[in-house]
Amino acid sequence: MAKRILVVEDNDLNRKLFCDLLKAKGFEVEPLADGFAVIERARAFAPDLVIMDIQLPRISGLELIEALKADADLRAIPVLAVTAYAGKGDEERIREAGAEGYLAKPVSIMPFLQAVTQLI
């Protein structure tokens, strides 16, 4: 059975790119643009990995990572954070929130796929 990945990204082009790359590698992918639906969708989809944009409208990806990690049913799912904000201390804050992986945008294809492979 294919591994399942929930892709949380509000940018249409980035979301499509991530999903197309992952589908080409044989993953089952669930795209999601709205951060407010993350917990509900994660429960329904039961992903093996969540790829989380940090800079989402209306809610922070950091808050969503913390919510996933605070949920007994979802906390074991690894999170790969992707963000355009790669300033000093950002990776540390993101990892403290619970993300197991971190990539700065723009994301290159090979490092992206390597990070996904390491976390699944």
Mean pLDDT of 90-119: 94
| Ordered domains of the chain (ranges, CATH) | 4-119 (3.40.50.2300)
Tell me which residue of 29, 71, 68 sits closest to 81, measured CA to CA.
68
pLDDT of residue 12: 96
pLDDT band of 111, cuts 50, 70, 90: very high
pLDDT cut 90: percent of the chain above it: 87
> Which stretches does DSSP call E strand in 2-58?
4-8, 28-32, 49-53
pTM (2 d.p.)? 0.95
Please give the pLDDT value at position 89: 84
Residues 56-99: tens digit of each pLDDT = 988 999 999 999 999 999 999 999 999 987 677 888 999 999 99
pLDDT of residue 84: 85
In DSSP terms, 29 is beta-bridged to 5
